[in-house]
Amino acid sequence: MKKPLKSFKKMRELMSKHFHEVYEASQDDKQKVAWCTSVGPAELLHSFGFKVYYPENHGAMIGASKKASEYIPYANAIGYSQMICSYLTSDIGAFLKGETPLQKAYNIPSIPKPDVLVYNTNQCRDVYDWFSFYGRKFNVPVIGISSPVNVGEVTENIINDVATQMKSLIPTLEEVSGTKFDIDRLKEVVKLSYECTKLWKECLFFGTHIPSPLTFFDYTVLMAPAVVLRGLPEAIDFYKEANEEIRQEMKKGLTAVPDEKVRLYWEGMPIWGRLRMLAELFYELNTSIVVSTYCNSWIFEDFAYDFDRPFESMAKAYTELFIVRNEEVKEKVIANWIEEFKVDGIIYHEAMTCPNNSNTRYGMPKRLQEKTGKPYLIINGDLNDMRLFSDEQARTSIETFIEQILENK
Ligand code: SF4
């Protein structure tokens, strides 16, 4: 039977400290706050001493609070379509309504005001439009990197292009922060991010163990420091302790679900408003979701590409990312993880408002089934807009899928 890990409590404390620090910095003229996309150049921002805030993390909190459907119409009313990223629409909607999940979770009255917004379109164009809304609202600079998409091989040309774009952010960041750029400081931060990535990978790879001690639903919580504290020593300390605790608990028999019978891969975004419902359903079905593209996307081993050339290392790490790659590369990555984590099948989440993170639309599920022999199920839903998700339909199709896997085992 699964036991609550102390690490979950520690992580909540760490996140509380993080949000308070960022909010307090936004209230203090001497400190500066940068907003950053989740796979943006956070290391560069930390090297200038910015407190870094991630709107996508806030979007996920809104999704988990189940209030997204209440906020989205506010963004629709000012012209942001129902069909675009529901992180964007629910986050802007919450802002227009004057609410934030930070109030309830950490007693923080509002999101922190930015001094600069820094994006990378490596994941999608929506982040540019999202940040531009707040740039206009707060009258602060919006700067960023336009990354290539559908990338096969990450060539030197691509690395140099992205690295050059990163370097071009320096003058604005110097002006906003009032700090001169220091390459040695950037090298240190990139090394810290690399340390964090190694530990996060180690944590995720506990899922290769049979039975698995943790599932996708645990990892969607435990990943927060890898997302919002990478580049800071706190993230490293956290994963060192968490990994040690998990190792110790595994020795005592920690397992995620009772009598694990089926192991699955989760492809696509989490369904934030239904995490608990889905976690309980898989638990009842003796099924562990042991690996996911989403959580694995914060493994950035290419920070180690060349520690003496931190821009090139960041450029490589943030372009080797799964979401940036073409179908051929994505299929290879998934096929490897299927093997490493010994899964019996794949669940694809087709998130209606995020085509960028839904790999169901160009034939991948069938091709991967032919290649790996593993069956798949596609669930229609969304990351935040729960009006696009049917509990009954999802439950029935998941139950049937698992029954079929068990029959064929
Ligand atoms: S990748 Fe998807 S969920 Fe993330 S910001 Fe872009 S559209 Fe939204």
DSSP letter, residue 338: H
pLDDT digits (tens, 9 = 90+) for 128-167: 999 999 999 999 999 999 999 999 999 999 999 999 999 9
pLDDT digits (tens, 9 = 90+) for 12-24: 999 999 999 999 9
> Ligand 1, atom 5: nearest CA belongs to which residue?
127
Instruction: Read off the pTM.
Output: 0.96
pLDDT digits (tens, 9 = 90+) for 303-358: 999 999 999 999 999 999 999 999 999 999 999 999 999 999 999 999 999 999 99
Taking the centre of ligand 1 as the mean of its atom positions, its distance from the CA of residue 100, in whole angstroms, is 19
Q: Do domains 6-181 and 187-408 have the same CATH topology?
A: yes
138: CB partners within 8 A, 6+ apart: 113, 114
Domain borders along the chain are 6-181, 187-408
Q: Which residue has the tokens 């042991």?
A: 290
CA 11 from centre of chain: 16
CA distances to 11, 121, 230, 389 from 224, rounded to whole Å, are: 8, 21, 9, 25
Q: What average pLDDT does the segment 73-98 reach?
A: 98
CA distances to 4, 178, 235, 263 from 294, rounded to whole Å, are: 23, 36, 19, 17
Backbone angles phi, psi at 384, to 5 degrees: -125, -35
Backbone angles phi, psi at 207, to 5 degrees: -65, -15
Taking the centre of ligand 1 as the mean of its atom positions, its distance from the CA of residue 260, in whole angstroms, is 32
- Please determine, for residue 102, whether its predicted confidence score (pLDDT) is greater than 70: yes
Taking the centre of ligand 1 as the mean of its atom positions, its distance from the CA of residue 248, in whole angstroms, is 36
Peptide bond into 211 cis (omega under 30): yes
DSSP letter, residue 362: S
| Ligand 1 touching residue 249 (CB < 6 A) | no
Looking at the DSSP bridge assignments, the partners of residue 348 are 267, 378
> Ligand 1, atom 6: nearest CA belongs to which residue?
124
> What was the pLDDT predicted at 3?
61
Q: Using alpha carbons only, what angle is made at residue 217 by residues 215 and 221, rounded to the nearest 5 degrees? A: 115
DSSP letter, residue 306: -
Strand, helix or coil for residue 120: strand
Atom of ligand 1 nearest to the CA of 127: 5
Tell the CATH topology of 187-408: Rossmann fold (3.40.50)
- Please determine, for residue 1, whether its predicted confidence score (pLDDT) is greater than 90: no
User: Where does the pLDDT of residue 2 fall: very low under 50, low under 70, confident under 90, or very high at 90 and above?
Assistant: low
Give percent of the chain with pLDDT exceeding 70: 99
pLDDT digits (tens, 9 = 90+) for 105-119: 999 999 999 999 999
Taking the centre of ligand 1 as the mean of its atom positions, its distance from the CA of residue 188, in whole angstroms, is 29
Angstrom distance (rounded) from CA 313 to CA 299: 14
Q: Which stretches within 52-155 are classed as H helix?
A: 55-64, 68-77, 86-97, 101-106, 126-138
Mean pLDDT taken over the chain: 97
> Ligand 1, atom 2: nearest CA belongs to which residue?
354
- Please determine, for residue 394, whether its predicted confidence score (pLDDT) is greater than 90: yes
Q: What average pLDDT does the segment 187-201 reach?
A: 98
CA neighbor of 96 nearest in space, from 78, 114, 117, 121: 78
Atom of ligand 1 nearest to the CA of 87: 8
Q: How many Cβ atoms sit within 10 Å of the Cβ of residue 32? A: 21
> What was the pLDDT predicted at 4?
80
Q: Choose the residue to mutate in 38, 82, 127 for probing ligand 1, maximizing ligand atoms within 8 Å of C-beta.
A: 127
**One CATH from 3.40.190.150, 3.40.50.11890, 3.40.47.10, 3.40.50.970 for 6-181:** 3.40.50.11890
Q: What average pLDDT does the segment 45-50 reach?
A: 98
| Ligand 1 touching residue 56 (CB < 6 A) | yes
Taking the centre of ligand 1 as the mean of its atom positions, its distance from the CA of residue 60, in whole angstroms, is 11
- Please determine, for residue 229, whether its predicted confidence score (pLDDT) is greater than 60: yes
